[in-house]
Amino acid sequence: MSPTVIGFIKTSLLSLAVGVVLGVLMALRVLPDPKAALYITSAHAHINLLGAVMMLIFGVGYHILPRFSGRPLHNEGLSTVQLWLNIIGLAGIFISLLAAAYSTADLLRYAVAPFGALYAVGCVLFAWNMWMTISGALPAPTPIKPAAKPPVSE
C-alpha cells in the first residue's frame, strides 16, 4: 500500500473510533448541556460519514481501482494533496460543529463552510483523478471457456 492509502485508512479508523464513542456519550446523555444539541448529532454524523465511511472509500478506491483498470493512478501527487485537504477539512468540520453546539456565533457559516469547502475540493480531486485513471481502463480478460466435449462415436 502507498503511504497515501495508509493515511486515508488510518484517518478512517481513527474517525470510526471517535464517532462511535461520541455516539455512545450522546445516547448516555453525559455531555455538558448544549445550546444546540442538533450540532452534536451533526458532528457525530459527519465524523462517521465523512471520516470513517468516505476516507475508507478513498483509501480502498486509490488502492484497487487502478489495479482493476490495469492502469497506474493518473496523478499520485494529487492523491496526497487530497489526503491533506480532507484531513484538515474533516478535523475543522468536526471541531466547528462541536463548538457550534456550545456557541451563539454563526460557526456554520464562518467555520463549517470554509473547512467544508476544503473537504469538497479534496473530493473533486478524487473524482478527477479516478475519472482519468479509469478512462484508460483495459478491457476485462476474456473468461476461459471449457473445451467442447468431443462427439460421442457409436
Task: List the interface residues with ligand HEM, window 7-26 (CB under 6 A).
Answer: 19-20, 23-24, 26
**What span, in angstroms and rounded, lies between the C-alpha atoms of 102 and 33?**
8
Distance CA 47, CA 24 (A): 14
Q: Least CB distance from residue 96 to ligand HEM, whole Å?
A: 9
Query: According to CB under 6 A, which residues from 94 to 153 bind ligand HEM?
Result: 108, 112, 116, 119-120
Residues in Cβ contact with 78 at an 8 Å cutoff, skipping those fewer than 6 apart: 125, 128, 129
- Interaction of residue 44 with ligand HEM, rule CB under 6 A: yes
Give whichever of 1 and 21 is closer to ligand HEM, judged by the CB atom: 21
Any residues with CB less than 8 A from the CB of 52 and at least 6 apart, and which? 12, 13, 15, 16, 19
Taking CB under 6 A as the binding criterion, the range among 51-59, 79-87, 128-136, 146-154 that sits at the site for ligand HEM is: 51-59
Residues that bind ligand HEM (CB under 6 A): 19-20, 23-24, 26-27, 38-39, 41-42, 44-46, 48-50, 52-54, 93, 108, 112, 116, 119-120
